[in-house]
Structure 1
Amino acid sequence: MPISYIPRVTQLDAGQLDDQLEELLKQQLFNATKYFEPGILQPVLPELELLLRTWIFKYSVYDKKLTFGQQMLSLKYNMENFSKSKLYWYYGYTVGLKYLKDRALYSLTSNTRVQSFVHQLETFQLFGDILNFLRFIQSGKYPVLIDFILGLELTADKLTREDLTDFSWTRELLWHNFIELIGTLISLMNIFGLQRLLSNVLKYVWWRQHIKPAGKMDVPTMTHATVCAICSQGPVLPHTMGCSHIFCYYCISANKAMDYEFACPKCYYSGKEIIKFVMV
């Protein structure tokens, strides 16, 4: 009788084994061609990776309805709901979509519309993977987004690791994936914008003297004691943004580039234009 419950750690291991196998085969390919003249394979690298992934797909999912990683751990997809059309959708998502993104990055680097579309596509896919991983942790089914979309359930006649009782190791693997999830979320955050929001909140706490942004700003003046309002050092290429404080050009331009609503840390004034300071 097929086993309906598959441990989460076993399903995650199967996915990691698939990724490691692909990297191993790519490394073997690069080692076999390392003595070729530089630049020969670079233009067709997306096509080589497409052929490699297609070969893996052909002799795993297409022929046996399971990946190599799943085969190593005695897992398989439920054959009853793995139709021919689902097989093609599975190939398009796992192989075809990667090739289109790689080819767009190689051939259409200067096309801003294509690059923007690819970036948005990767963002949506990343959010989908994050939401699916959270659902997988809760339910224990469909570890990969495409499995959830197509309804491909994993089953097994036996588990090669059914005696797994090392709960500390299991927790370590789950925490490792959770930490990767947190790192991915942090990379999507606007750290400068978050810093501005926290600064706006903390300025009201009792141990800090709250300074309201003035309605009318004084004319900025610079003396030998003047320091940058951001780095607290002598201003390098002094600039202003409408308030009475002076900034280093690189300090204010970098912060404005990352957060358009960046406010002066001294008076909380958010100017829209950076102006070069000229001493009269």
Structure 2
Amino acid sequence: MSISYIPRVTQLDAAQLDKQLEELFKQQLFYATKYLEPGILQPLLPELELLIRTWIFKYSVYDKKSTFGQQMLSLGYKQDNFSRSKLWWYFGYTVVLKYIRERAIYSFTSNTRIQNIVHKMETFQLIGDILNFLRFIQSGKYPVLIDFILGLELFADKLTREDLTDFSWTRELLWHNFIELIGTAISILNIFGLRRKLSNVLKYVWWSDNVRTSIKSSSAIMTTNTLCACCDSHPVLPYIMGCSHVFCYYCLMANKTADPDFACPKCYYNGKEINKFVMV
């Protein structure tokens, strides 16, 4: 008799065990080939990882309709809802798609267009993972995005955590996965661009009386009391970009490199030309 309710922590553990198993296979492969000349296996890494994932898929999901991580926790997919077409879609998402992405990164490193496409694919997938995780916390079903897309439900022959009473540990594991997803999402954001957009919004807020308009100001003047518009210290190698404020060279160039639309944080003037400040 199968169990209808499966704890969320058990489902997350199964997914985590699958990742660890794949990493274990990779470590064993690298250990077995560590005496080979460096650079021999590097061009073939995507193909080697493809073989590892295909082998794992063949002897787990394809043969037994459950991953190795799920088998360790007595879980499995409901076979009456796991058709052959869904099986191949599962293989394409979990194995083929990863291979295409890794091969594109290895073979087309200098191709900006392909790298941008790969980056956008990873971004969309990450957003989908985050939204699916939030939905999973609420519903307790479909811990992995592909499970939700294909409608693959889990069942349990027995509850392997019958003595699980420490709900704080369960809650900690859930939050750990959530924070990991949020941290990954933040890492792909353009923090400088986001800060600029927020600054542009704040300059129109009625209580921001000290903010001036973004029109071009008068020529910059530097005195002994002049401070860098970014770091509020005396400018080192003073530079300007068209407004009345002076910047450190490194402050201005770092912000312009990170965000080409960087505007002066004092007057919101977006200067395109950067020039060295010359005392007249």
TM-score by length of structure 1 reads 0.92
Q: Deviations over 1:84-139 (max 9, x none)?
A: 11111111110111111111111111111111111111111111111111111111
Between the aligned partners of 2:113 and 2:260, the Cα distance in structure 1 is: 23
Q: Which residue in 1 is equivalent to 2:60?
A: 60
Q: 1:220 to 1:10 in 2, by over 3 A?
A: same
1:49 pairs with 2:35: no
Residue aligning to 1:90: 90
- Asked whether the 8 Å contact 2:203–2:211 carries over to 1, the reply is no
Contact 1:239 1:277 in 2 (8 A): yes
User: Would you say the 8 A contact 1:76–1:155 is kept in 2?
Assistant: yes
Cα deviation, residue 3, structure 1: 1.4
Report the identity percentage: 75
Q: Please name the residue that 1:277 is paired with.
A: 277
CA RMSD of aligned residues (A): 2.1
Check the 8 A contact 1:78/1:155 in 2, yes or no.
yes
CA contact (8 A) 2:128 2:145 kept: yes
TM-score by structure 2 length? 0.92
Q: Distance in 2 between matches of 1:195 and 1:205?
A: 19
1:215, 1:41 → 2: CA distance? 57
* Structure 2 CA distance for partners of 1:75 and 1:225, relative to 1, 3 Å: same
Shift of residue 265, structure 1, vs aligned partner:
2.7
Question: Aligned partners of 1:62, 1:232: CA distance in 2, in Å?
Answer: 62
Q: Determine the structure 1 residue equivalent to 2:26.
A: 26
Aligned to 1:251: 251
Aligned to 1:178: 178
Q: Is the 8 A contact 1:18 1:67 kept in 2?
A: yes
Give the whole-Å Cα distance in 2 for the aligned partners of 1:242 and 1:93: 51
Residue segments in structure 2 that go unaligned for 5+ positions in a row = none
Q: Which moved more, 1:212-221 or 1:246-255?
A: 212-221
Write the deviation string for residues 136-156 of structure 1: whole angstroms up to 9, x where unpaired.
111111111111111111011
Contact 2:203–2:212, Cα closer than 8 Å, also in 1: no
5+ residue gaps, structure 1: none
1:113-152 superposed matches below 5 A: 113-152=113-152
C-alpha distance in 2 between matches for 1:44 and 1:189: 31
1:211–1:130: structure 2 CA closer, same or farther, 3 Å change rule? closer
User: Partners of 1:146 and 1:211 in 2: how far apart?
Assistant: 48
1:59 and 1:72 mapped to 2: Cα distance? 14
